[in-house]
Structure formats: structure tokens, C-alpha cells
Chains A and B, each alone.
Chain A
Amino acid sequence: MFKQMRNTIAAMLAVCSMAGVANAEILINGAGATFPYPIYSKWFSEYAKIDPSVKFNYQSIGSGGGIKQITEQTVDFGASDKFLTDDQLKAAPGKLVHIPTVMGAVVVTYNVPGVKTGLKLTADDIAGIYLGKITTWNDPKIAAINPGVNLPAKPIIVVHRSDGSGTTAIFTDYLSNVSPEWKDKVGMGTSVKWPAGLGGKGNEGVAGQVKNTAYSVGYVELAYAFGNKLPYATLKNRDGHFVEPSIKSTTAAAAGAAKHMPSDYRISLVNQPGKDAYPIAGFTWLLVYEHPKDAVKGKKMVEFLRWELKKGQKLAAPLLYAPLPHNVVKMVEKTIAGIK
């Protein structure tokens, strides 16, 4: 009995001393967006196998918090679903670099009894519904592009996110892009003044509300919609094709944007040209200083980013994130080379 206890204590001490060794490694702290948290933690745990001397600690506190912390230099890198404004960049003590990592898409989901997944919607339809102007499911605008679908004469119950989120930022960015009226009245942001509808907290709040309420419509992240097998709408893209939300069509949106990609990657991916481009997509970025305060950590960070672009991208799709297209990866590699 005593022997057993002594063994246990010895084992515990051994674990403690191992933890002590682990503390001697280089610890890189980051904070920010919640949306990419699953893929980032996958990357960090996979990368720990390749380079055990570096350990990443990522706090998913939200994009706003990530921007705040990297600006105040309390973390080594930030993460955001929304690119920084010129004012925000000026507020930082050094030059911040945006590194796009993966892409996400926003899916329009609905619950209309008798209507299967794949209902066709145009940009005008979605803007009209969320502005509270298209109020019934059998509105001629929706009926015209969905021949053969039995659309009921029921009022549309609109559901949106109530918590500030990158998903809302991408969705309202899309609406601002396709509808001048939306841009004028509401605009884009992580939380906006919704002209219509109910607010649900988180993807699960919106999905739960849509699932429970017949004749409702909502928007959720692609990963969440696929993971929970929610019905989704097929959207008409800029080139006039109806595109299903998928990892491939999301990557296609970035490929379409590559031709006019700015060197700081501060670009919205909504409503991009391309036959297969899904219209409601967006990058998520890591934020690092071009000249990191701690050179050793900076070097390790660059090594990680190189790995992430080569090997890490392959881990994205199984977790339902869209990997960067090749032409964008090439660009980002050049950008990373400039960090020192």
C-alpha cells in the first residue's frame, strides 16, 4: 500500500519535472478568432511532433480581442476573421502583416417543410429577405428561379447571429457588396443593426432556431452546416452560375480573387468572379509583426508558417476548412520571407 503510494508520488514528480523541461522550450503565445480554432490547434499539435522545441499556446477569445492583444504586444501573434482597417494598423507600434491561413464560407440554411436541400437563391433574394422586404416563401422572385419546387405561402422567419462574429462579418460583407440598400442602411461588421429577425447565440443558436422553427432561414459557417448535415441553399454567383457551398467552391473564390490580390491580403472574398466561385467566402488571417520583438520567437514563427503553407494546408479539408489555392500560397510564401 505504502509502496504503491510512493510509486505514485514518484510518477507524479517525474511528470512535474517533465513539465519543467517543457517550460524551457520556446513558448509562442497567440490569441484571436474562434472560427479557425479547430484547425489551428490541429496544426499546433501536429507541428509539435516536427519541432518539439517550440510550443504554441492559442487563446480563442475572438477577433476583436486578438487585434487588441497583438496591438498591445501582449501576444506573439494575433488572429482575426476581419482584416484590420488603416486606423487599426496605424495604432500598432510596428508594421503588422496579414497572413491568410485558410478560408471559410457561410451557408444559408432553412427549414421549409416540403422543400429539400439545394433551394436556389440569388443575391437579391438573400438581401431582400434579410432587409425584411421579401417576406413570404412563395415570393415571385424566389419562385421564378425554383420551378417545380412547392413553395408555401408562409411568412419567412429570419434568424441571424446575435453574438459578434466573423461569420456575421463575412455575411454582411456579402450583403453590402451585392445590395446598395444594405450597404446604405446596415453596412458590414461583426455585429450590425439587423432590420429583421431573431438573434441566436453562436452557430448552434442559429441552427437550433432554424431547426425548431418551420419556415425559417438562417446563416451558419460551412463547417458547422456540413458537420450537422443542415439543408443549404445553392447561391447564384457573380458569373451567374448556381453554386453549392463546398470546400472546393470556397477555394475557387480565392482563386478568382488572386488576380487582383493586394500585397497585404486585405481583401474580401465575397462575390468573386469565377464559374465555380461560391459567393459568401472569406479568409481568416494570422497577424504578426514584420519585425518581431523577439527575434528567436519570430524565426520559429516563420518556420511554422512555412510548414503550415506546405503541409498544414492538407489538414484543412478534413476539418471542413477550405485550403488556400496554389497561386495564393506562392504569394504568401514570399510575404513570409520578409518577416525577420
Chain B
Amino acid sequence: MSHDEQVRDIDSAKGISGDRIFKMITLGFAFSIILILLLITVGMAVESIPTLKLFGWKFITGSDWDAVQGQFGALPYIWGSIVSSLLAILIATPLSVGTALFITEIAPGKLGGAIASLVELLAAIPSVIYGLWGILVMAPWLQHTVEPFLSDHFGFLPFFRGAPYGVGMLAAVFIIMIMIIPIITSITKEVLLAVPRSQKEAAVALGATRWETIRMAVLPYGRSGILGAVVLGLGRAIGETMAVTMVIGNTPQISLSLLAPAYTMPSVIANEFAEASSKLHSAALMEIGLILLVITLIINITARVLIWGVTRQRTSGGQI
């Protein structure tokens, strides 16, 4: 019997009423979260019955989206959401972990603090501001500078073909990346700060350089925490609506090219829901919401499993 279980047993044996009430209240809170999630899921499922019945799996595999003709296939939106989020995470993760490492391990105290608060400031900017900046500043820059360069030099790859519009998949990836960097950075920073000093000192005592200390003592210790930070970032990335809608070009197509305009699931809901007057159209948008929920759930579960795997692999070291 572990120490934790013993403590729990003592609590229940005594049956102090105050503790019991507290337990019930917290239990109530915990269950209300589950209940809300369930209600949302059921609500969306009920609302999307018309399209669930009419299209079945074709809703996910089809790519024809025509509100006038009543044809709905969501594949381009699913593709756009997944590709833009994954690419953004791929770029944002090393940047964020690097920034967090600099703040905690390398920068002198005051500079680290200043950078950390600046990064956190980024998280406080509303997404519509990112979107406006995206259209007015970033998109023209991508269109006139970055995209012509990419298509001139890397045009032999299918990823950089096509006319430079400025808005498109690349712009969406950039915007999402900027928006999730502060989240991943600040959580990673907290994780790294929790690394015991003794761990680092031991590495240094063995003659490790700074890089070796980080590689052998700091990063392995924070692995599961960093992974958790990345998952939170991914959650934000896939659900980001406003800023992405403003810069992605809103064209439901599946293209390998990063320069081509695309579309995401939250964007189509935000764009079309207010004026969706036919029942089938609003049901289709509801079903997209449902798919988004399921995808987010899958991501979170996968991440949980990954984190468990990582934690179990470790023989020593405390939980984070």
C-alpha cells in the first residue's frame, strides 16, 4: 500500500463531515465539466442528424460543399485544419522550447524575466488583432517577398507552386504559429523551472558542458511536461478561428501547395453559420463542429497516452 492510499483510507475512516462536504462539492464540480461536455456533444449530434442520415461517411470523405444545391462534404475543411495546425506546431515547438531554455538556463536573470513577460504579453493579444495584422502587414509581405522567393528557388517542390496571393495556407500556418508560441513557451518555462537543481549540478559535476547538461539532465526531466505544452498548443491551433479565417483565403480545396488558399473547420462555421438559413446547411455546420470535437478528443487522448508512455519509461524523477 502506497503512502497516498494510506492517507486516503484514514480520511474515509474518520468520515469528518466537513471533509465529506468538501469532497462532494469538488466531485460536483468535476462531474459538471463532464456533463457539460456530454451535453454539448449530444446537442451537436442531435442538430446534425439531418446530414448524418443523408450523407453518412460521405460527409467526411466528400469534398463537394455547395449550400445552394444541398451537397455537403467536409474533407477540404478537415484537411485544412489538420495540415495548418500540424505545420504550425512543427515550427512552433522548437522555437518555443528554445525560447524557454534561453529564459531558464542561459539568459541572465533580469533579461530572462523581461523576455518571459514579453512572450506572455503576446498571449494576451486578441486573435482579431492578429488577423488584422495578418491581412494588412503579413499577407502583403508574404505576397511580395516570401512567396516569390519560395516559388523561384523551391518551385520544383509541389509545396511551393502557384501564384503568390499572400493569403493562404502559409499565412495561416504563420499566424497560428505566432499565436501558440506564447502558450508552449510559458508552460515549457514552468516545466523547466521545476527541474531540481541537484539534477543539473550532478551533470555539471560530471564535467558536462551547458549543452550536455540541458540534453542529459534538463530536457529528459521535462519531457512529459513539454509534450503536454505542445498538446495544449495543438488544441489552441486547431480551434483557432478568427485570425485564421482572415488570412487563409477561405477556398475549400485540397492542395499540396502552401501558397494555395485553403479553409479550416472553425472558419467555415464562423463564416457560414450566421446566414445558414436552410436546415441542411446548419446541420452540416453542426456536424463539422462535431467532427472538430472528435478530432480534438483524439489528439488529447493520443497525447495522454504518449505522456503516460514517457512517464513510465522514466525510472527515477518526480511527477510534473
Q: Which residues of A contact B (CB under 8 A)?
A: 34, 61-65, 67-68, 82, 88, 155, 157, 162-166, 186-194, 197-201, 205, 208-209, 212-213
A188–B165 Cα distance when bound, in Å, is 26
A205 & B275 in contact (Cβ 8 Å cutoff)? no
B169 to chain A, nearest CB (A): 12
Most buried by A among B64, B69, B251, B274: B274
The reply to whether the CB of B276 lies closer than 8 angstroms to some CB of chain A is: yes
Give the 10 A-B CB pairs with smallest separation, nearest first.
A164-B275, A199-B250, A62-B274, A162-B250, A190-B275, A187-B68, A193-B66, A163-B271, A64-B277, A64-B275
Judging by beta carbons under 8 Å apart, are A163 and B275 in contact?
Answer: yes
Please give 9 more A-B residue pairs, beta carbons under 8 A apart, in addition to A164-B67, A201-B271.
A34-B274, A62-B275, A64-B277, A88-B277, A162-B267, A190-B277, A194-B251, A197-B251, A212-B140
Query: Residue B246 contacts which of A64, A165, A205 (CB distance < 8 angstroms)?
Result: A205
A191 in contact with B166 given A63-B277, A198-B250 (CB within 8 Å): no
Instruction: Point out the residues of chain A lying under 8 angstroms from B261, CB to CB.
Output: 198-199
Task: Name 22 A/B residue pairs within 8 A (Cβ), A-sorted.
Answer: A34-B274, A63-B275, A64-B274, A64-B277, A67-B277, A157-B165, A162-B250, A163-B271, A165-B275, A187-B69, A189-B68, A191-B67, A191-B275, A198-B250, A199-B249, A199-B251, A199-B263, A200-B167, A201-B250, A205-B135, A212-B140, A212-B166
Contacts of B272 in A (CB 8 A): 163-164, 190-191
- The verdict on B59 contacting chain A, using a C-beta distance below 8 Å, is no
Contact A82 B139 (CB under 8 A): no
Q: How far is the CA of A335 from the CA of B249 in the complex (A)?
A: 44
Quick one: which of A63, A163, A189 contacts B270, CB cutoff 8 A?
A163
Given contacts A88-B277, A164-B272, A209-B135, contact A193 B65 (CB under 8 A): yes
Contacts of A164 in B (CB 8 A): 67, 271-276
B274 near A163 with CB under 8 A, answer yes
Chain A residues with CB below 8 A from B118, complex form = none
Closest-CB distance, B261 to chain A (whole angstroms): 5
Residues from chain A with Cβ under 8 Å of B275 in the complex: 62-64, 163-166, 190-191
Alpha-carbon gap, A101 to B20, bound state (A):
63
In the complex the two chains form, is B67's CB within 8 Å of A198's CB? no
CA of A164 to CA of B272, assembled, Å: 5
Whole-angstrom distance between the Cβ of A203 and the nearest chain B Cβ: 13
In the bound complex, residues from chain A placing their C-beta under 8 Å from that of B257 are none
**Shortest beta-carbon distance from B27 to chain A in Å:** 36
A107 to B: closest C-beta gap in Å: 20
B84 at the interface (CB under 8 A from A): no
Q: Does B143 contact A (CB under 8 A)?
A: yes
Q: How far is the CA of A174 from the CA of B251 in the complex (A)?
A: 22
Nearest residue, chain B, Cβ from A176: B68
| Chain A nearest Cβ from B143, distance in angstroms | 7
B71 to chain A, nearest CB (A): 8
Shortest Cβ distance from A179 into chain B, in angstroms? 15
B245 CB-CB contact with A under 8 Å: yes
Interface centre among B139, B249, B270 (most CB of A within 10 A): B249
Residues A192 and B249 in contact, CB atoms below 8 Å apart: no
B67, B263, B282: the one within 8 Å of A193 (CB): B67
